[in-house]
Amino acid sequence: MSTTEMSELRRTIGQLRQCVGALRARYGEAPAVRRLANDVERLDIDAGDLDQMAPVPAQATPAARPDVVKVPDTPYDPALWEGADDEGVGGYHRDQR
């Protein structure tokens, strides 16, 4: 993360911490307030972890990847399915003897 992004994240987490503190003053130790406090704490921990990590190189877009095969929307040739059975139907195309 860039320094600007990390600073903005830390500032926002600080604002969340203040809001949760105000909620705690109003609602006490209600379960929802405790969960919010835990969530803010987790965000702070995760932000610290991100700050220590090296950035991941940019990923190629799907259009630039050579292993992507585009499948056309046009109907398939019905001859492709001649003599084939539908799965689970039990061969209804076979001659009944």
Extents of the domains making up the chain: 3-55
Helix axes 31-52, 3-27, angle to 10 degrees: 170
Cβ burial of 67 (10 Å; 0-12, 13-18, 19+) is: exposed
- Whether 73 shows a pLDDT value over 80: the answer reads yes
Its pTM stands at 0.56
The model's pLDDT over 11-65, given as tens digits with 9 standing for 90+, comes to 999 999 999 999 999 999 999 999 999 999 999 999 999 988 888 777 766 556 6
- The answer to whether the beta carbons of residues 46 and 12 sit under 8 Å apart is no
